[in-house]
Amino acid sequence: MPAVLFESQYNPPISFFGQLLGAEALWLETQEHYRKQTYRNRCLILTAQGVKPLTVPVVDGNRSEKVKTSELEIDYRQNWVHTHWRTIQTAYGGTPYFEYYADYLHDIYVQKPRLLFELNLALLQFYMRCLRLRTPIHFTTDYHAPSTSQLPGPGLLDRRDWLTPKAPAAPGPDSTSALPYAQTFGKDFAPGLSILDLLFMQGPAAGNFLA
């Protein structure tokens, strides 16, 4: 399978990792301008009230789209770390593998990386270790619009903005999702969730549910 190009994502959806199965490499976009209301700073988790978004606030949000995603600073004036962690604990504290991963994950949050890209990368590397994915990670040095053919590598599969929180249950023609697994809340399987949901429910077996 060719290498894949993704934007940096916060607690990426399960489908993100499904795309890494057999991929030669993962390229992360560093030269794009930030885009609001995307997985760059947002993830979806399952709570007793249904699917809930968690959003990382960024500095100077009104002008954030003029800043490169890789240079965008997190706004720690808002107590979002406490809010996110409390919400994750409430949603997943009773799952089979929460205690298995919680301390490692919490350590990433409390380090308070200055940049959104740094936070996302630390989380990504943690999840890849948990899923036993050894896909090499590379970083773009130039920006190429999706409509161009001048991508970083030959045969590169461009998956930038392929996944969106605006329509998580409406996959595109080439989209993949997780194989259904037992979830904490609800009778029907909720697709499009963060990798957090699968890890906390399936633990070391999570990789078997990537598709």
pLDDT tens digits along 6-60: 999 999 999 999 999 999 999 999 999 999 999 999 999 999 999 999 999 999 8
Domain that holds residue 74: 4-209
**pLDDT digits 0-9 by tens, 130-140:** 999 999 999 99
DSSP 37: S
Q: How far is CA 6 from CA 159, 165, 171, in A?
A: 5, 15, 16
Measured CA distances, 66 to 47, 62, 70, 131, 184 (Å): 34, 9, 12, 34, 39
pLDDT of residue 33: 93
Within 13 Å, how many C-alpha atoms sit on residue 2's CB side? 12
The mean pLDDT value for 182-200 works out to 94
Most confident range (mean pLDDT) of 57-66, 165-174, 186-195 is: 186-195
Give exposure, 175-200, as e/b (b: 16+ Cβ within 10 Å).
Answer: ebbbeeeebbeeeeebbbbbbbbbbb
- Tally Cβ neighbours within 10 Å of residue 5: 23
Query: What does the pLDDT read at residue 42?
Result: 97
Region 154-176 average pLDDT? 70
Question: What is the reported pTM?
Answer: 0.92
Return the pLDDT at 138: 96
| Domain count of the fold of the chain | 1
Q: Helices marked H in the chain — which ranges?
A: 14-18, 80-92, 98-110, 116-130, 195-202
- Residue 179 DSSP code: P
Instruction: Report the candidate in 157, 198, 202, 201 with the shortest Cα–Cα distance to residue 178.
Output: 198
Q: Given this model, what pLDDT does residue 167 score?
A: 59
